[in-house]
Amino acid sequence: MNKVYIVTFEELTGGFEERSHLAVQGAGKMTSQELVESMWGEIDSIEDFGTRYKDNPYYWVAGNEKLVRVIRKQPITNRHLKIVNQYITV
């Protein structure tokens, strides 16, 4: 069974930095590039800005005109589910 992970993306666009979170099943086996492509579709280039981000590069997503990189992926725990369930109404 594939675990569900919380994936945190860092997005740079127009001089602004934003973080977004997505629950992804099987993210533990996916590369950063595969995760970015699954969220935004095709990437156009990889930017490592020299040695600073060599191990965790940004991916240029031209259709959205932004740079994106994965900064964290961790399995969802019961603690996470309790927090999320506080904000879900049926």
This prediction's pTM: 0.79
HSE-up (13 A, CA, CB side) for residue 88: 7
User: Quick one: pLDDT at residue 68?
Assistant: 94
Query: How high is the mean pLDDT in each 10-residue block of the chain (90 residues)?
Result: 86 91 90 91 84 81 88 88 77
For the chain, the structural domain boundaries read 4-85
Cα(86)–Cα(44) distance, integer angstroms: 39
- Asked whether 25 and 3 are in contact (CB, 8 A), the reply is yes
- Asked whether 51 and 34 are in contact (CB, 8 A), the reply is no
Comparing CA positions, the residue from 32, 28, 12 lying closest to residue 20 is 12
